[in-house]
Amino acid sequence: MVNRSGRGAFAADATDAAAARRACEGAAVVFHCANGPYGQWASTLPAMMDGIIDGAASAGASLIYGDNLYAYGPVDGPLTEDLPYRPVGPNTATRAALATRLMEAHARGTVRAAIGRASDFFGPDVHLSTVGDEVFARALSSKAARMVGNPELPHTYTFIDNFAAGLVTLATHDRALGEIWHVPSAETITARAFVELVFKQLGKPPRLQVVPRVVVSAMALFVPTMTGVREVLYQSEHPWVVDHSKFARAFGATTTPHADAIARTLAAFRQ
């Protein structure tokens, strides 16, 4: 574990190539799951990717990148790994550029790499996701869960433990290298159904507050984070169904049922 503060981990700034090399020394696999402030991806993430590529390459380690689905942009139909990149703003363009940069480094022989992608995360210690504090913390506080978009549409949600397991699977198979993989998620349900499962676990009637697009747009004028939220509203205003059949064919697919994953998440939030 590496972070800048060193709290509970090895201290290093991944944007510093020398520090990244020291952090990766002796590693067989490097998992790139670092992130930056949501409104500052374009200025923070490229240098981080470069540093981590350099660190993994210097150690002769394979590099497994934990990515999201932003690079694809708006999509009609299920999301598959062969979709073209169609970014619509700074955050989506940054994610597309990072993935391209890593796969090009693999193609050049600089580093052996694979990308694992998944949809909105939930689980223990997941706070900033669309199904983080705005759903679990609020539900535990007897407040309405809060979301954007259309809650009646199908949407894939990914339990963070399943994502971690998927990345480890990619790290243990050489055939994963040089490719992009959608890590398995439990069955796709609607946002409203997901919220109902959360409140059912709590023994409370479901409550859901949908933030109107006009409110998100107004807040985006003053809050950088909301600018990023506005950029990807299409993910919650249209069906967002992630196809992980490629991963399943190659490695099998075992996921935690939503009810069990939600119970574990609520237990962690209570603590």
- What digits encode the pLDDT tens for the residues 15-70? 999 999 999 999 999 999 999 998 899 999 999 999 999 999 999 999 999 999 99
- Domain boundaries defined on the chain: 2-270
- For the whole model, what pTM was predicted? 0.96
- Indicate the helix (H) or strand (E) that contains 67: strand 62-67
CA atoms within 13 A on the CB side of 208: 22
Confidence check: pLDDT of 129 > 90: yes
Long-range CB contacts for residues 191-194, cutoff 8 Å, separation at least 24: 191/147, 191/149, 191/150, 191/151, 191/152, 191/153, 191/155, 191/236, 192/151, 192/152, 194/131, 194/135, 194/155, 194/157, 194/258
Confidence check: pLDDT of 224 > 90: no
For the domain made up of 2-270, give the CATH fold.
Rossmann fold (3.40.50)
Q: Is the CA virtual torsion 36, 41, 45, 47 positive or negative?
A: negative
Structure tokens at 110: 């600089």
In this prediction, residue 263 carries a pLDDT of: 98
In this prediction, residue 39 carries a pLDDT of: 84
